[in-house]
Every structure is written in structure tokens, then in C-alpha cells.
Amino acid sequence: MKKFDHNGPGLQGKLFGLPVEPDTADLIIIPIPWEVTVTYKTGTAGAPAAVLQASNQIDLFHHFITDAWKIPVTMLPVPDNLNLENKNLRSLALTHIQTLESGNEADTGKVITTKINEACESLNIYIKNQAQNLLRAGKMVAVLGGDHSTPLGLLRALAEKHERFGILQFDAHADLRKAYEGFTYSHGSIMFNALKLPAISRMVQVGIRDYCEEELQMMQRAGGRVKTFFDPDIKSQMAEGITWKQICDKIILELPPLVYISFDIDVFNPALCPNTGTPVPGGLEFDQAAYLIRQVVKSGRKIIGFDLCEVGNQEWDANVGARVLWELSQFALSSQ
């Protein structure tokens, strides 16, 4: 780092172009190229590689953080074996999904879902083991998906490390479906599965605008454990003169001292993420999300980990995703 010119070009193949290795990093990002159960557009499995490449174009000055270029963060190599397994299983899942959407019952449906559920559970175990090893080494850990099913292993690892923590979920979708389309670990079930962890005392959802009645009932049955700030309500309040800061203050009051941030990029206005898996009109702007994250840290809450998921693998999506990752990394470390 002493020889690194932070005003010059970054290093090719390094996250944000920084000369940081895992042994010297405080924050390590695990890339997971996985989108087996996605129900609409594919491409998010290519996001870790695309975001890594785009991250090299970020200028290393941060408006709110001094010497931001000194951030001790790196990303592990994208696992080729997961890429290959994802492709093979995705073709199986697609056959099952298309059969369901045609209104038919597939004779092979149970065989396919069982195989995919077992593979997804193996993935969760792999991520949990990696995360636990890094946590024991004193590192902060984050996941870069892939679809939104990918962070469950990290959440399980953190649930064994921390007695209580909350999740701040940025998302267009509630992700509270039970075994959606027969897939226990569907990208639409990540928060349903997360709520099985007793250590997660609070889940605060922001930007939700595309959900089903089953999910609404899940929120209502959670006994206050889930607090949802729906996007239509946010927009109505702002139209009536309530400021984004006032809304953020209310969001933050719902969070416990330890916070995990789960960031599905489809929380954004789709102009920022047109190639995400399931884009939805409406949503937050980039600066609104960055402001809320900054205010969480300013409140004295500690970020214990995070994920960034559902980024499309196209150039613009990867560019925006890299900048979200930059903000998450900076503020997560500054909260320590």
C-alpha cells in the first residue's frame, strides 16, 4: 500500500483496484456465482466477476470518509466449480419452473426439486464454513451474489457468533415465501429461512413493493419481529412533505445495536439496475440508500456483515453494483 498510487489506475483483477490480500484485509468478500432458482431473468451468476471488473473504475476518494483508499478489503477468487454446478442445475430448475407455469404437474418435479434443494443446502454449508473460518481469523465477512438465496450460509455463521442481531433488508420483494416453487432455498425464500435463526431478533425491510398475500400474512404473524417500510408508503409520505431523513430516523429506530445489511439491488429504481433478476417499477435512488446506510453508522449501530445480490452482469448494472459494494464496504468498516 505504501507504493500504491491511489490517484492513478487501479490494479487489474483486484477489488477496487487495491493491492490488498486476504491476510492483510479486515473485510473479505465471498463471491457466489449462483442463480439456480431465479424465476425471471438470468445473469446474476455472472455478477461477481462483472462487479469485480467494474470496481476498478471507481475513484478512491470518498466524500464522507477520510483516506478511503486505505480500506482493507478484498474479494476471494470466483469459484469455477460453482459456476459449472450453477449452469447444470439451472437447466434442471428451468424445466421444472416452465412446467409449473404451464399449469401442469411434472412427474419429475419432486426428483428435480429434491436434487436442487440438496445442492443448495450443500452450498449453504460451504459458505457457512468459509465464513466461520474467516470470522475466527478476525475478519468481517460479506457475500457478493448471485441471487438472493446466497447469503443464508453467512447468516447462519453470524447467528452462531452473535447472540442477537437485526437485518436491514433493502429489497423490492419481501422474500418471505415458504419453499417457493418447491425450492426450499429459493431466492424468494431467503428471509423466510433467515427468520428460522433465533439470533435474528429483528428484520427491517425497506423498499418493498412486490409481494403476495402469503408474505403479508407472514409479516403480520411475526409478532413485531418483522417491520416493513413499503415503497408506496414511503413515496406517499414524501409527497406529503415528510423528508427522507425523517423516514430514515424511523427505520433506524427499529434496528438493534448489531445490524446485518442484506442489499438486493432491485430495491433501486430499475433505471439503475435494468438487468437485475426481477426488476420492479418504483424504488429508491442510489443516494437515498447510501444516506440510510450512513445514518445507520452515524446512529452508533455496528454493521456485522452484509451481502449484495441480484446484480445483473451487464456493464451498467455492474458499475452501479460496484459502487453499492464500495459504500457498503466503507461504512461497514467505519462502524467498527
| Strand intervals (E) in the chain | 27-32, 73-75, 140-145, 165-170, 200-208, 226-230, 258-264, 302-309
| Measured torsion, CA atoms of residues 251, 253, 256, 261, in degrees rounded to the nearest 10 | 20
Q: What confidence score (pLDDT) does residue 95 get? A: 82
Check if CATH label 3.20.20.70 holds for domain 15-334.
no
- List pLDDT tens digits, range 5-59: 999 999 999 999 999 999 999 999 999 999 999 988 999 999 999 999 999 999 9
**How far does the chain reach from its first CA to its final CA, in angstroms?**
22
Give the residues of the chain that fall short of pLDDT 70: 105-108
Distance CA(284)–CA(71), nearest Å, equals 26
For residue 97, what pLDDT is reported? 82
* Residue pLDDT, tens place only, 163-182: 999 999 999 999 999 988 88
Whether 330 and 296 have beta carbons less than 8 Å apart is answered as: no
Rounded-to-5 percentages of helix, strand, coil across the chain: 45, 15, 40
Res 102: pLDDT: 78
- Burial pattern 254-271, b for ≥16 Cβ within 10 A else e, equals bbeebbbbbbbbbbbbbe
Give strand pairing partners of 259.
166, 303
Length of the chain: 336
d(CA 32, CA 79): 7
Helices (H), 39-195: 47-55, 80-101, 109-136, 152-161, 190-194
Report domain extents, the chain: 15-334
Q: Which of 309, 310, 301, 303 is nearest to 330 (CA)?
A: 303
Q: For position 106, what pLDDT does the model report?
A: 57
What distances in angstroms separate CA 66 from CA 14, 62, 310, 330, one per listed residue? 21, 7, 30, 10
For residue 295, is it left (φ>0), alpha (ψ between -120 and 50) or beta? alpha
| Angstrom distances, CA of residue 203 to CA of 38, 132, 224, 247, 258 | 23, 22, 9, 17, 12
30 and 143 in contact (C-beta within 8 Å)? Answer: yes
Q: Are 98 and 53 in contact (CB under 8 A)?
A: no
